[in-house]
Amino acid sequence: MSPKSLRATAVDALTLEEAREEHQALQAEIAEHDRRYYQEDAPVISDAQYDALRRRYEALERRFPDLASPESLTRKVGAKASEKFAKVRHRVPMLSLDNAFAPEDVAAFVERIRRFLNLPADAPLVFTAEPKIDGLSLSLRYEKGRLVTAATRGDGTEGEDVTANARTVGDIPPILRGPDVPEVCEVRGEVYLSHQDFAAINERQAAAGKPLFANPRNAAAGSLRQLDASITASRPLRFFAYAWGEMSALPAKTQCGVVECFARWGLRVNPLMQRVSGLDEMLAYHRKLETERATLGYDIDGVVYKVDDLSLQQRLGFVSRFPRWALAHKFPAQKAVTVLEDIEITVGRTGSLNPTAKLKPVTVGGVVVSNATLHNEDYIKGIGGDGLPIRGGVDIRIGDTVVVQRAGDVIPKVLDVVLEKRPPDSKPYQFPTVCPACGSHAVRELNPRTGKEDSVRRCTGGLICPAQARERLKHFVSRNAFDIEGLGAQRIDEFYDAGFVRAPQDIFALERRNGELRLEEREGWAETSVRNLFAAIRARRSIELHRFIYALGIPHVGETTAKLLARHFGTFENLRATALAAADRTSEAYAELTNIAGIGEVVADALVEFFREPHNEEMLDALLAEVTPRAVEQAVSHSPVAGKTVVFTGSLEKMTRDEAKAMAERLGAKVAASVSKKTDLVVAGPGAGSKLDKARELGVKVIDEDAWFALAGQGA
């Protein structure tokens, strides 16, 4: 059964293998939507649809914790910065927020915080609540009160330098005024357009014969990211400040207090922000704002709650791509009815045949939608993940009138078919059994672990399939991988068709071969563009290790997992040697892979299979002759546990297990799930059992909770 048809099945009813299949498919789908939203300002599905995909993805990880490995998209923020602008590295990462969609989600958020902090139910816990503006996140860096840099979120680590454009926004002061403005003050907030200004911009676009913007968010993002700052200046962008990054000193001890300082310094803050105590007040604020959202004059898509006490925020810390102390409570999804005009099949880099509904364009929640996911073959047939009928067993056909839901800023989802409007001559859709790219058989293989048929139909062409080869190359040069400026998807297609680039290493041979290739003589090229391309390729002959690992396209190894592997192994040689040795599942090497926090057997097995494949070995040898993955430099830290591998066991009395792990990671330590020869330190509380015995057997240093706090305090 395909992963997309599995989505019709309740998460609690899925087996681990079914959940793993669906999780993998969702990951690819969500990643593409993130790219469209953050990088291109051109989402193809609604916020509600995107949020639905995220909810399902996160529900799978909650139900099956083994799926929540570091490559998970729940640990990733945004998308890579655009090539059009210089890049700015955020001193403090710009993280996203976890989402809630129902009152029980908010209740669970509050309960998680109390449990993490070990707070009793009657202990006071105050939050701030504010509208979640639907705009473009922006970070403003002030030094000695003067604006020096403005950067978009980008991928959370690196954003685009839009300083010149930000200076044209009236709500962004060039100088902050006040005696308590810190030496370094990084203010973060949202750039947006009012409904009135958005309508005026679209009127001008129409009068000039130019395309209309889909919604205020896209218009604001497009306006801020103009190469010509005068265009930005002509559009009445606005800005609300609500958060911060690097601060040399904090002017208050609460979230609300710092935002009040922003207002004193000359920044615009949202007057609807207020403190709320407890769940009832949080939900009441959400209900009130939902009823008033149409009267605000600007787009919001929910409410943001944050723990008000900054000392509690510090204790709570972060998990993956989210702060533990904040939550976005989204408004309900929006739906629309339109006609499915065609079903398009594309081939992914792993050979998967992916169906997409081509829709008669329809506006859903302010965004024009023309594509929607059809998940997989079974979903089209009306079959759910458990093999039982979904949508009453009604299949989906070309020409059908369908209900689509925009559940986020990614590709929408086809929810249902309006059967009474089905054309009388319609025929069931026949999913292709041959690859549309190479003509090879497309099959649904049996999963060797479960004995069940895979949910995805895949091309069997492998290396002879041009679609797979192209997609692998496009992944290799993508923004989170080698990110070679001037060598995007279109150029890969051009070079592949011409026979210039058929494998990653061919990219780095282009300059040497240009005597025969003569790129500058090809249509669309000139000496300057060729020279710039070669310079960009040369600049990537030395590359960060995590980018190199991610670029290889190893199944289940996303950007976050690649970073984790890079940090753990330090060099590519170490990773490669360990993965090869781990072919023996009983070996210490395999145990080392699976003992890395967040990496389980699925990722370990994928690494083993990738590195022992002879073709991949040949490709790596050729690629490493051209490229040098840089060894990971250990961060300089005053913490005595930085770089150490720590295991917590037994009952912890002064902190929760989650808080202990968060503290260790803040101090630069690696937290492992079990004790091995590579463990440096075991923190044992009362009731410690087999892990303590293993530590003593191996001679690993063991300390108690008090000694851990003393040790951790040395790095504070």
pLDDT, one tens digit per residue, over 683-715 is 988 888 888 888 999 999 999 988 888 887 754
Least Cα distance to 180 among 256, 245, 260 occurs for 260
CATH code: domain 3-75+334-421 is: 2.40.50.140
- Model confidence pLDDT, tens digit, residues 29-61: 887 776 665 455 456 676 667 777 888 888 888
- Model confidence pLDDT, tens digit, residues 625-648: 999 999 986 544 567 888 788 999
Low-confidence winner among 177-186, 283-292, 467-476, 657-666 (lowest mean pLDDT): 657-666
Query: Rounded to an integer, what distance in angstroms lies between the CA atom of residue 27 and that of residue 14?
Result: 17
- Model confidence pLDDT, tens digit, residues 261-282: 999 999 999 999 999 999 999 9
The CA–CA distances, whole Å, from 1 to 220, 250, 351, 376 equal 42, 54, 17, 9
Instruction: Grade residue 550 by pLDDT with cuts at 50, 70 and 90.
Output: very high
Low-confidence winner among 157-161, 383-387, 409-413, 578-582 (lowest mean pLDDT): 409-413
586 phi and psi angles, rounded to 5 deg: -95, 0
The H or E element spanning position 453 is none
Least Cα distance to 659 among 116, 296, 49, 97 occurs for 116
Chain-centroid distance, C-alpha 523: 37
Could you count the other beta carbons within 10 Å of the beta carbon of residue 217?
27
Beta strands 681-684 and 701-703, pairing class: parallel
The residues assigned a catalytic role are: 132
Low-confidence winner among 23-27, 235-239, 337-341, 475-479 (lowest mean pLDDT): 23-27
Instruction: Grade residue 145 by pLDDT with cuts at 50, 70 and 90.
Output: very high
Grouping H, G, I as helix, E, B as strand and the rest as coil, residue 352 is strand
Chain-centroid distance, C-alpha 251: 32
Q: Can you give the pLDDT at residue 599?
A: 80
Instruction: Kindly state the average pLDDT of the residues 550-558.
Output: 88
Q: What percent of the chain has pLDDT over 70?
A: 91
CATH 3.40.50.300 fits 545-630, yes or no: no
Superfamily of domain 645-713: BRCT domain (3.40.50.10190)
Instruction: Kindly state the average pLDDT of the residues 251-257.
Output: 97
Query: Rounded to an integer, what distance in angstroms lies between the CA atom of residue 578 and that of residue 275?
Result: 52
Query: Rounded to an integer, what distance in angstroms lies between the CA atom of residue 70 and that of residue 604?
Result: 12
Mean pLDDT estimate for the chain: 87
Contact criterion met (CB below 8 Å) for 457 and 444: yes
Instruction: Grade residue 598 by pLDDT with cuts at 50, 70 and 90.
Output: low
pLDDT at residue 306 above 90?
yes
Query: Rounded to an integer, what distance in angstroms lies between the CA atom of residue 403 and that of residue 413?
Result: 9
Q: Can you give the pLDDT at residue 83?
A: 47
Q: Can you give the pLDDT at residue 226?
A: 83
Domain ranges within the chain, ordered by starting residue: 3-75+334-421, 88-319, 545-630, 645-713
Query: Rounded to an integer, what distance in angstroms lies between the CA atom of residue 529 and that of residue 536?
Result: 10
CA torsion through residues 301, 73, 462, 621, sign: positive
The CA–CA distances, whole Å, from 381 to 31, 393, 613 equal 26, 8, 36
129 phi and psi angles, rounded to 5 deg: -130, 135
Strands (E), 365-499: 367-373, 401-406, 413-417, 442-443, 458-459
pLDDT at residue 565 above 60?
yes
- If phi > 0 it is left, if psi is from -120 to 50 it is alpha, else beta; for residue 341 that is alpha
Grouping H, G, I as helix, E, B as strand and the rest as coil, residue 454 is coil
pLDDT at residue 409 above 50?
no
- Would you report the helix, strand and coil content of the chain in percent, each value rounded to 5? 40, 20, 40
- Which tokens sit at 433? 């059994």
Query: Rounded to an integer, what distance in angstroms lies between the CA atom of residue 287 and that of residue 125?
Result: 20
CATH 3.40.50.720 fits 88-319, yes or no: no
Instruction: Kindly state the average pLDDT of the residues 11-15.
Output: 80
Helix H, strand E, coil C: the string for 431-448 is: CCCECCCCCCEEECCECC
Q: Is residue 656 exposed (0-12), middle (13-18) or buried (19+ Cβ within 10 Å)?
A: middle
Q: Can you give the pLDDT at residue 82?
A: 42
Instruction: Kindly state the average pLDDT of the residues 181-198.
Output: 95
Instruction: Grade residue 320 by pLDDT with cuts at 50, 70 and 90.
Output: low
Beta strands 645-649 and 681-684, pairing class: parallel
- Which tokens sit at 577? 């040697």
Query: Rounded to an integer, what distance in angstroms lies between the CA atom of residue 391 and that of residue 393?
Result: 5
